[in-house]
Amino acid sequence: MHFQPVFHKQKRPVLIAGPCSAETEEQVLATARGLAGRDVDLFRAGIWKPRTRPGAFEGVGSPGLKWLQRVQAETGLKVTTEVANGLHVQECLKSGVDVFWIGARTTVNPFSMQEIADALEGSDVPVLVKNPVNPDYKLWVGAIERLYKAGLRRIAAVHRGFSTYGDSKYRNVPRWQMPIDLAQEFPDLELICDVSHICGRRDILAETAQKALDLNFDGLMVEVHPAPDTAWSDAAQQITPERFGDMIASLIRRTVTTDDPDFLEYIDRYRCRIDDLDEEIIHLIAQRMQLVREIGYVKKDKNVAILQPERWRALAEACHRRADKNELSREFTTLFLEAIHQEGINQQERVMSQAPLVTGDKP
């Protein structure tokens, strides 16, 4: 696939900003006025809101399209909104929405994507495709492919992170390697980072935006609201137009001044992969310890000793064999296994003695 640019090639970073949801005409226009003159390329506002759980604000629907027309007329800003089915597409085409975006809960569904692609056939409106909610690279590419097959060429991808279960610094974990892989496979596909939905909170927006720029994203999508705390959706992650202006002004546009211009990009890519792997390793070890604790309960129940020398010998041998094949030194695997084993014993000892494992951890 070869794409045409949605945004002007010369201007980087591309800036997409606006409220999570269009709530009232006044709120939409106040945000747009606050953003006009701040170098924004595209004004965003969700009209149909796909909420994970029922009962949350589900958007104002079609009447919001008129408000977007007023934004276009009064501020000259181009506008974008989310489309999730063929009807949304028809309404947005009729009302002159400049750019369409596909939300994460739609990208994930091939039926919806096909319906949207069919409704868009014959038009040449630019479309932004967010990654699916789950980290499924093929679904992301598949959604883009469906639009491409319908004849669309002005397509860009939006990285908004991936849902996760359990505690995380982010609302949607970034797993940067996936958008990096996408950019590598499709070098002419513009890549935008939706920092608001990745972070889910204001305090880490700027550092995440900087990271996206350092990873050569073409632009940023940021949720902006005139009174963020009172927003009807995603209040915790929205910022005022002023704060948006300050954040953008604070970003460092890195100019690479080294003999090897690919150097920083190269190490960043590898470091991202390392960060992802480290996160996975910790997660896997935690899962392993959970199993070890489960065994601890059974051993306790049957009055069986914690240390099982035969099992330990067999396990160590199998690991050493695997390590040999993977160019890991015996010295390292021995230390690693001993540490894991010791932690397993400690965890089982705590289970046996009934002491709490960690604060808040209930057996």
Tell me how far, at minimum, the Cβ of 129 lies from ligand PEP, in Å.
Answer: 10
For Mn ion (CB under 5 A), the number of binding residues is 2
Determine which residue in the list 130, 146, 159, 269 makes contact with ligand PEP, applying CB under 6 A. Answer: 130
Binding mask 174-213 for ligand PEP (x = CB under 6 A): --------------------x--x----------------
Select the residue whose beta carbon is closest to ligand PEP and give its number.
103
How far the first Cα of the chain sits from its last, in Å, is: 52
Cβ proximity to ligand PEP: between 103 and 245 the closer is 103
Among 101-109, 178-186, 260-268, 314-322, which window interacts with ligand PEP (CB under 6 A)? 101-109
Alpha carbons 43 and 54: distance in angstroms, whole number: 27
- Interface pick for Mn ion out of 17, 20, 104, 178 (rule CB under 5 A): 20
Among 20, 89, 198, 206, binds ligand PEP (CB under 6 A): 20
* 3-state SS class at 68: helix
Under rule CB under 6 A, residue 146 binds ligand PEP: no
Identity (one letter) of the amino acid at 289?
M
Q: Give the residue, chosen from 68, 104, 116, 212, that forms a contact with ligand PEP under the rule CB under 6 A.
A: 104
* Subset of residues 293 to 352 that bind ligand PEP, contact rule: CB under 6 A: none
* Cβ proximity to ligand PEP, 193 vs 289, nearer residue: 193
In angstroms, rounded to a whole number, what is the distance separating the alpha carbons of residues 111 and 231? 31
* Binding partner at 103 among Mn ion, ligand PEP, none, C-beta below 5 to 8 Å by kind: ligand PEP
Which residue among 18, 34, 46, 135 contacts ligand PEP (CB under 6 A)?
Answer: 46
Binder among 159, 160, 202, 269 for ligand PEP (CB under 6 A): 160
Q: CA 218 to CA 193: how far, in whole Å?
A: 8
In the range 94-133, which residues lie near Mn ion by CB under 5 A? none
Q: Residue 45 in contact with residue 69, Cβ under 8 Å? A: no
Residue 58, CB half-sphere, CA atoms under 13 Å: how many?
7
Task: Identify whether the C-beta of residue 216 lies closer than 8 Å to the C-beta of residue 183.
Answer: yes
Say whether residue 23 binds Mn ion (CB under 5 A): no
Spatial distance between the Cα atoms of 202 and 133, rounded to a whole number of angstroms: 21
Q: Which is nearer to Mn ion, 41 or 194 (CB)?
A: 194
What is the C-alpha to C-alpha distance for residues 5 and 276, in angstroms, rounded to an integer? 30
**In the complex with Mn ion, which residue's Cβ is closer, 20 or 192?**
20
Of Mn ion, ligand PEP, none, which one sits near residue 160, judging by CB under 5 to 8 A according to partner kind? Answer: ligand PEP
Q: What is the DSSP letter of 245?
A: H
What is the nearest approach in angstroms of ligand PEP to the Cβ of residue 59?
Answer: 10
Q: Is 103 in the site for ligand PEP (CB under 6 A)?
A: yes
Which positions ≥6 away from 88 have C-beta within 8 Å? 48, 82, 116
Q: Please name which of 307, 298, 303, 304 lies closest in space to residue 344, comparing C-alpha atoms.
A: 307
In the complex, the smallest distance separating the C-beta of residue 117 from Mn ion, rounded to whole angstroms, is 24
Closer Cβ to ligand PEP, 32 or 289, answer by number = 32
From Mn ion, ligand PEP, none, interface partner of 269 (C-beta below 5 to 8 A by class):
none
Distance (Å, whole) CA 34 – CA 77: 12
Q: State how far the Cα of 4 lies from the Cα of 148, in Å rounded to an integer.
A: 11
For residue 102, give the DSSP letter: E
Measured at the CA of 195, the angle between CA 103 and CA 60, to 5 degrees, comes to: 45
**Best CA proximity match to 195, nearest among 142, 248, 233:** 248
Give the x/- contact pattern for Mn ion in 207-246, rule: CB under 5 A: ---------------------------x------------
Q: Which residues contact 36 (CB under 8 A, 6 or more apart)?
A: 75, 76, 77
Binding residues for ligand PEP, total number by CB under 6 A: 9
Kindly report whether the peptide bond that precedes residue 63 is cis, defined as omega within 30 degrees of 0: no
Query: Which residues of the chain form contacts with ligand PEP (CB under 6 A)?
Result: 20, 46, 103-105, 130, 160, 194, 197
Q: Which residues bind Mn ion (CB under 5 A)?
A: 20, 234
